[in-house]
Amino acid sequence: MREKIFFTKNDRIAIIAPHPDDECMFAAGVLLLAADRTDIYVLTDGSHGNKNHSIQEEAIIRKKQFDAEMEYVKPHAVYWFGAEDTKLSENTEIVKKIDFSPYTKIILPWIESLHPDHRAAASMCINEIQRQGCNAECYSGEVYKPLPLPSHYIDITSLADEKRKLIRFHEDQKELENVVLSLNAFRAAQMLSMPKC
């Protein structure tokens, strides 16, 4: 049975974004419903995200695009770590800078995601959350690859246009819009058989 995720005024939420766009790819619903209670941790600089630019140019582009999105969304706080894209697994100490204890909900990339940085971020954060003894509810978000048996959902029907707007801040990643929204549509089609959905 899939359960809807609800946010209360007392929630403190952390989104772990391996790259500066993942926060809106797999957690746009959280951002749009609870931005004032949400902290975003961006682990890498996204510098390998577009082969039409040098690594140095792409890092600058990705940061500017991310900053523009954050100016629009206005989350509670943003933490930029800037590890090199595609090499997160070589920076295992990075998540030890995060204090997970204040959070009631933590949104992570899926540990079996197609991107190695997503897998590394999930594994590193899970280990650190356990080490810190954090009692937050933890959720994995899907980006390119569907979760086999999702247990929870956020209804973004009324937010789909806003999610599209967030993704479009990341202009050099524009091919991902259709991929991400197609996966959302696939999930919506699955929900049709559920009562009250």
- Mind listing the domains of the chain with CATH numbers? 9-191 (3.40.50.10320)
Q: How far apart are CA 124 and CA 112, in angstroms?
A: 13
Q: By percentage, how much of the chain surpasses pLDDT 90?
A: 77
Give the residue among 4, 197, 3, 17 at the shortest CA–CA distance from 122. 17
Confidence check: pLDDT of 196 > 60:
no
Torsion of CA 18, 114, 185, 71, to 10 degrees: 10
pLDDT band at 179 (very low <50, low <70, confident <90, very high): confident
pLDDT band at 194 (very low <50, low <70, confident <90, very high): low
**What is the structure's pLDDT at 1?**
60
